[in-house]
């Protein structure tokens, strides 16, 4: 004779149901927290590994010098409102200027502007353009050693102006723009000297413009610097001056 077992189910009361729901929610929260912690740890590990592999960003990349954007003779007078500093030394020629005749003596070069030389522009004027009857030069007039000089910052033909002073001059002190550079680097720049380890901007500030040589070696770059008659030949490796030799 078969014996049948009778199963009796316990009714789920509202209180028991709530306890089950709380337990399930707690389990889900715990699992989510554990998953989040694991993902966070993996993210931190990846960031730390990336920091080890990637070089730190160069602070020079964040330096954005202000510009004036002059577009005619009147707007170019903004150059006289604050000191300016020469961006590339030994590149721009200046000439004697006769303030009474409002004329630059283009037949006699007075010199070239020095690396990050500080100037106080007195005014911007138009002057004759040698060899061109329908074009005039825009000249920035300044005083040096109690004499008056001028250098070209653009030209005008009719009502069409071409002004390139923003490419020639800083209107902010480079010492402040690049104040993150070490004091010994700035000391060398102010003495117009080059030290191993300087980058190209620092070398330009120290000895002026340079002319890169052609090269098939992507890891090295050699640049010739006229340096005001004392030429130097500098080879850069990884963006830093590695070899400094007298030029010809």
pLDDT grade, residue 28 (50/70/90)?
confident
Q: Are 222 and 237 in contact (CB under 8 A)?
A: no
Q: Domain count for the chain, please give it.
A: 2
Average pLDDT, the chain: 88
Segments forming the whole domain that contains residue 82: 73-170
Position 52 pLDDT exceeds 70: no
| pLDDT value at residue 120 | 97
Question: For residue 194, what are its two tokens?
Answer: 């080059």
Whether 241 maps to a domain, the answer reads yes
What is the reported pLDDT for 132? 85
Average pLDDT over residues 159-180: 97
| 55 located within any domain | no
State residue 131's pLDDT score.
Answer: 82
pLDDT at 162: 96
pLDDT score at 58: 85
Q: Which of 170, 201, 223 is the last residue of a domain?
A: 170
Are 80 and 157 within one domain?
yes
């Amino acid at each position: 004779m078969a014996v049948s077992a009778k199963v009796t189910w316990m009714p789920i009361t509202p209180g028991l149901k709530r306890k089950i729901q709380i337990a399930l929610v707690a389990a889900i929260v715990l699992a989510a927290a554990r998953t989040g912690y694991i993902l966070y740890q993996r993210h931190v590990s990846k960031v730390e590994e990336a920091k080890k592999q990637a070089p730190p960003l160069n602070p020079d990349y964040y330096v954005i010098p202000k510009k004036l954007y002059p577009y005619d003779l009147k707007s170019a007078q903004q150059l006289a409102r604050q000191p300016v500093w020469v961006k590339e030394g030994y590149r721009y020629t200046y000439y004697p200027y006769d303030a009474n005749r409002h004329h630059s003596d283009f037949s006699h070069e007075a010199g070239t502007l020095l690396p990050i030389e500080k100037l106080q522009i007195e005014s911007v004027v138009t002057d004759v353009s040698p060899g061109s009857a329908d074009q005039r030069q825009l000249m920035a007039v300044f005083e040096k050693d109690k004499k008056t000089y001028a250098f070209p910052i653009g030209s005008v033909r009719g009502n069409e102006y071409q002004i390139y002073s923003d490419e020639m001059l800083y209107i902010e002190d480079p010492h402040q723009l690049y104040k993150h550079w070490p004091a010994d680097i700035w000391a060398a720049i102010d003495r117009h000297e080059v030290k191993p380890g300087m980058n190209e901007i620092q070398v330009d500030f120290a000895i002026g413009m340079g002319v890169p040589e052609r090269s098939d070696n992507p890891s090295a770059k050699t640049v010739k610097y006229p340096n005001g008659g004392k030429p130097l030949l500098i080879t850069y490796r990884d963006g830093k001056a590695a070899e400094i030799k007298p030029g010809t």
